[in-house]
Every structure is written in C-alpha cells, then in structure tokens.
Structure 1
C-alpha cells in the first residue's frame, strides 16, 4: 500500500486525499491528562508531505525526523489544535517561515541536527505554550538572530554545539534586549558552545534554575553557580582547581566533574553538598590525590548523614585512598574505582571489604608492585597486600634470624671443637717444658 501511494503521488500532480496513517506509523497515546494519536513519519519519503489530508483529529505527537527536509513552509502538518510534540530533528532545515507553526497547544519542539542559522521571532507567535525547545547542533553564532521573547512558558532549552559562546560575553541569555529567555527557565544545556568565561552575575536573575549543563567548553575557572541547582555538569573543561567555596549548593543532587584539569580533590570540598546523591569524577588524567576529608571529618566516624549514593573515580590517576574512607564508602549503592593505577599494598586492602559488584571491579587492577602488575584487586589474597615498611621489616627480621643462626653455629663450634684443641694443647704443655728443663739441666750439670 505504501509503495502504491508513493508511486501515484510521483506520477500525478493532483491533490490526493489519503490518511497519513497509511504512510506513517500511528499509535494510540494514552495518559491521564491526554488521549490521542502518536504519528511516526520518520525516515519516510518526503513526497508524502504533498498530501492534503488532515492529521488525526486528536494527534498528540508528530515525528518528521530524518526526512531530508530543507525548510518548514505552510502545510497542514503544522496545523493542529491538539498537537503537543513536534519532532523535526536530523533533517537539513535551513529556513522556517514565519507564522507557519499553527500549534497553540504545542509544548515540545525538537529542531536539533539541522542547518539553521536564523529563527525569526514570529516563528514562535502561535506556540506560546512551548515548554521544551531543542536547537542543538545547528549553525547559530549569535543571539541577534535568535530570540525567545514570546516563549514565556519555556522551562527547558538545549543550545548544545552552536558557536554562540563568544556572543554570551556581550549579551545575557535573560536580557530582554538580547535573547530574552524567560526567568522561569529550569533547565539549560550549553555544551560545546565555545564558551571561555561566564560573566559575573550571569545567572543572577534566574531564580528557579534546577539543571545546568555547561560541559565541553573552554572554562578554566568555576563561575558563580546558581544555588538553586539540583543538577550540574561541568565536565570536559580545562578547570584546574576546585574548592569548597565553589559548591555552596544545598539543593544539588548530581554533580559531574569529568575530564577536568584538576590534580587533587582537596579537604572539605564537598561538605556543603548536603543533598548530593551522585558524584562523577571520571577521566581526570591529572587527578592523583583524593583527600579523606573531601566530604568532611564527621562522615569518617559516623556515616549516617552521608547522603551520597553513587561515586565514580574511574579512569583517573589515583594510586591510594585512605582507609578512613571505608565508613562513608561502605554506605554507597554504587562505587566505581576502575582504571586507576592502584598501588596494591596494605593501604588499600580495605577496599576488598566493600560490597562492590563484579561488573564494577573487573578493571580495578594493580599497577604496582611489579609482581602484581595488572592483577585484579578483588582476586588477590589479603596476604599479598604488603607495605614497603613491612617488606623492610621482614627483610630485617630474616637478616636478624640469619645472624642469630650464625652466632648459634659459632657458639656450638666453640663448644664442641675448642675443648678438643684445648686438651691436646694441655698435653703438649705438660711434656715440652720438662724436656726443655731436662736439657737445660744437663747443660749446666756438665763439668767444665
């Protein structure tokens, strides 16, 4: 049926009245707040978009992704009183006509992975209920060609991989004369936008921001972070230092610090993160030190108030961890320490007492000492984990024992051998003087 309809459309240039569900996958969408059709027209020949039939009466979602569309122009596909989601990702869209989106109930619009350089402000005139906008992986370079003034209900925006970082140094995202993002925004993703610095007070007017992704940029210092955040991703930035002053974020639940330039996790750096549930410190190639006091002193003695559930230190350069971390680490649901050059001595044998699933310790291996190179930590007997001082003590003990054995041997030798020589010497001592005396006497007794 699909092939016949497509051929008919190619051959004739007449208007065809056909249900879109004959060409696309239509599924019933059911939720407490909404009942309608979900229409999937992804990877479909664009010829179908000449069809002049209407969408299902109660369409909830329309997916037009991966269709090589080059522009968004007037079409029944973009006219619906009920549509909630429109997905136009993975096309070649470079232009969207003004006022073409007649979708008053639309809450989600995905325009990612296209060729957009400009969106006229009038494009959003009739989608004022929009809550989610994804324009990642396009060709935007400045917000003078991108404005969100009409989107008063927008609470999530994804700007990833557009070269807009330089323009943010002059224009604030929330400035009405600039990009005009609503102050109600809750979720912003700005990964890979070529951002070198976040100006002071950049987020000052955002009073309810919950999630911020600002990874894969060129930030060298941690900026003033909104204290309302629950999720923060600073990964893949050349940040060289972190401190407790950076993270005064009582509501934060997830913190990602992967692939930074840091060399240590210092004392008390995470003590103010009272609600933290997940912490990632992965692929930090310069990270060699993880302080026992990074979560504070109290949790080392009593971990009842330790909220962290997941911790990953994988793929860094940490060689040792203090044994006093056994108390808080023992409370974790997930702990990943794989891919570090561990020194397998008495200082890390305590790790084997932690309840780490097998899938999370296959690459938890020794780098040194040399005899244990690449051995799995959890497969080694405890007796193999010997410190250098213990080895020196053992060598000294062996040497002392050997010395004592030699002394004992010498003592036995004196006890068994010397008396025999003494006896022979005694016998010679009684004989020789008499002989000499007799000779001497005879010499003097000879008459002159």
Structure 2
C-alpha cells in the first residue's frame, strides 16, 4: 500500500511541475510584449540592464532609431531583427554573446552604428554584415577574435571607424581591410601583434587615426605604415621597444600626433630618431620607467640642422635625469610637461628655469640630484645654484678608474701567489753554461764549507 501511495504522490508531483512550467511559459509569452513595450522611450528602444538572458520573441521595431540591449546576459543572438527602416544604432555591448545568427541584421539596412563590444565573440559568418551597406561604425572590441576575414567587410565600403581592440589578433592578413576604402579610424590596441604586412593599408587612403598600443612590436613597423598617405595620429604606446633610433620614423612624414607612452622596456632615444616626420607637432612620451636617455639631436633634422617645431612636448614620469636645451626651440613649444622625472640639477639644466609652464606643472619638476637640492622644484632655484664641480661631472669616470685599478691589483696578487706556492722550489740551471762533465762536491777547509765543481779524475778534493 505504501508503495502505491508513493507512486501516486510522485505522479502528482511530476504532473504539477509540468503544468506549472507550461503555465509559466504561457505567462512569459503573454508578458513579453508588455515587458518589451516598457523599453520604448520616444525615439529609442532601450532594454539595457534588465538581466535579459534571451530575446523572448521575434522583434519588430515600428518606431525609434536605436535598439539597445546593453548590460544584459544574452549569449545567443538568434533572432532576426526587423524595423521600419529608421533604426540607425544597435547596441548589444556588455553581454555574453558567443553566436550571432547569420541573418540577425539582414533587415536593418539603414543601420549606421553597431556596438558588439565586451562580449565573447571569436568567429563571424561572412554574411553577418553584408546587408549593412550604410554601416559607418563597428565596435568589436573586448572580444576573443583571433582572425580577420576580409569577406566580413566586403559590403562595408562606407565604414569609417572600426574597433578591434582587446582581442587575440597575432597576425593580420594583407587583404584584411582591402574593402574599407573610406576607413578613417582603426583601433588595434591590446592585441598580440608583432608586425604588420607591408601592403596592409594600401587601400585605406583615408585612414587618419591608427591605434597600435599594447601589442608586441619590438621595432617600429614603418614598412607596414608607409602606405598611409594621410595618417594624422599614431599611437604606439605600451609596446616592447628597447631603443628608438634613425630611420625608424623616416617614412611617416604626415604624422602630426605621436604617442609613445608606457614603454616599459624602452631605454634610449637616439640622434635623428624622428627624422622625416615633417609634420610632427604633438609628442607624448610618458610613463616610460626605464627611459634614461634622450639624445640632444633626437628631433634634429640632419638635412637642415634645425630642430622640429613642436607645439606640445609631454615628457613626464620617465627616468631621464637631464635634458638638452638644444633639443627643441623651447620658446615656440606651447605646451611643455616635464614633471615626474628624477632631474639632475647641475649646470647642464639651468636653461630649464626659463621655460613657460603652468604653475601646477612647475611644482612637479623636482630635483633628485645633487643631494643638497633634492626634492626642490627646479623653478624655485636660481641659475647660480645649478653648479658643476669637476668631481661631480667626472664621478663615474673616477669611480670606474678606481675599480679598474683594484681589479688589476687583485689579479696580480693572485698570480704571484700561484707562482710562489705552486711552482717547485728548485735551483734553476743556467741555460748558457756548458756542461764539461764536472761534479758538484762539498769541500771543508779550516772549518768552512765550500761548494765546488771538481773533476773526479783528479782524486778526492779534500786531500
């Protein structure tokens, strides 16, 4: 009896559960339209931050010019979105998207901007964006993309901005961007790139802004950049350069803004490094913790023997101790920031107090050496306080010479010890003396001993 009663109870529980699920499903279906209607706000459909895991019904957007499902938990975009031809912007950022239906955007022909950043996308169907002939901005940043297929953009000739930052790109095919003839801004920050194909940008003649920060370049990819005739801003921050020297930038004549921030391995910038950058106006090189040397001729044109005319020179939080007054024509540099460097306030730096800088920046230009000026602002010193003594100017030479003398002396002591202790103690035969067959004998005469050489044929020498 108990057995049959348990079976009956189990059947009732299962039946009740199924019924509840069916009713819940019907309830969700009936509520979904009302729920989505709450997202409409004038010209905008905004269902952001509502913990949505799945778009509940096929969507038709009869009004509005934007669709937003940002900050949700959607993993699959498996619905075809349809509108009345007015939607301009689509935002599915900050979700968990892994898959997008091939035809998800096929009916949204008026769309100009799509944001799919901060998801888990790694592969796209080649037809995903083909119907979006009016697309101008595409953000695919913060995903897991490791390959760029040129077919993905074959109908995107109007695209002006493409973001592929924070992905897993280590290689970019030469033909990747060949269809993007109107591309103006490309963001490839924070990938794993080591080089660029020589002809990568041969069709991107309108490209003006290129972000290559946070990659693995060990040298300037000048051959890959030379095809860009109108490049205005180039960001090469946070790469793996150890030193920069001529002719690294010679082919980048149109670059106006150059960023070299956060180079943890960069140690020196040599003479004429920026030779050929005829339009360079804004220079940023900050937070390079191992950068200790900037050559006085780094910005000197070796053809005209004149420094470049910069409007902005931001050079803060590096490890450079001194800077040449001949580096630039400082009177023509509008914005100068030299804060956060361990300045050696000797006679080579007295020119700096003539610089025009905002007071808040002047307070951060601090002496690190000599000790009697440590932690004092450069701009609070007088020209007489910037002194150079012989010892101070030659301290490294003197210390090096002393160390060399000590090292040589120690080597000589060790060598003499080996000669005295390890070679056999014996009398050396004179190599120039001929041997006539004499024998060495000891002779005693009147209490004194003598060592003689004696011919044995003459008998005993003691007799």
**TM-score > 0.5 by shorter chain:** yes
**What TM-score, normalized by structure 2, do the two folds share?**
0.69
Tell me the equivalent position of 2:340.
339
2:147 is aligned, of 142, 149, 154, to 142
State the 1:299 CA deviation: 12
Alpha-carbon distance in 2 for matches of 1:259, 1:146: 35
The within-5 A match list for 1:362-441 is 362-389=363-390
Contact 1:118 1:146 in 2 (8 A): no
Deviations for 1:321-369, whole angstroms, at most 9, x for unmatched residues?
12234x6223223211112110012222222221211332333211110
Tell me the equivalent position of 2:292.
288
Tell me the equivalent position of 1:322.
324
- Shift of the 130–348 alpha-carbon distance from structure 1 to 2, 3 Å rule, reads same
Contact 1:121 1:150 in 2 (8 A): no
- Shift of the 373–318 alpha-carbon distance from structure 1 to 2, 3 Å rule, reads same
| Structure 1, gaps ≥5 residues long | 1-7, 28-36, 393-448
The within-5 A match list for 1:210-359 is 210-223=208-221, 224=223, 225-226=225-226, 227-228=228-229, 229-247=231-249, 248-260=251-263, 261-296=265-300, 307-325=309-327, 328-359=329-360
Deviations for 1:170-229, whole angstroms, at most 9, x for unmatched residues?
x3243xxxx764344332221222112223333334333222111211111212123421
2:65 is aligned, of 47, 60, 65, to 60
State the 1:387 CA deviation: 2.1
Deviations for 1:21-72, whole angstroms, at most 9, x for unmatched residues?
7446x36xxxxxxxxx244432134289547785463x33333211112122
Residue 46 (str. 1) matches residue 52 (str. 2): yes
| Structure 2, gaps ≥5 residues long | 1-23, 394-463
Contact 1:15 1:51 in 2 (8 A): no
The within-5 A match list for 1:18-167 is 18=34, 22-23=38-39, 26=41, 37-46=43-52, 49-50=55-56, 55=61, 57=63, 59-74=64-79, 76=81, 79-101=83-105, 102-143=107-148, 147-166=152-171
- Shift of the 80–342 alpha-carbon distance from structure 1 to 2, 3 Å rule, reads farther
Q: Residue 300 of structure 2 aligns to a residue in which SS?
A: coil
Contact 1:18 1:51 in 2 (8 A): no
Contact 2:311 2:334 in 1 (8 A): yes
- Between Structure 1 and Structure 2, the one with more helix by share is 1
- Shift of the 313–121 alpha-carbon distance from structure 1 to 2, 3 Å rule, reads same
Aligned residues: 363
Contact 2:296 2:324 in 1 (8 A): yes
Alpha-carbon distance in 1 for matches of 2:138, 2:169: 16
- Shift of the 197–249 alpha-carbon distance from structure 1 to 2, 3 Å rule, reads closer
Alpha-carbon distance in 1 for matches of 2:179, 2:122: 18
- Shift of the 353–192 alpha-carbon distance from structure 1 to 2, 3 Å rule, reads same
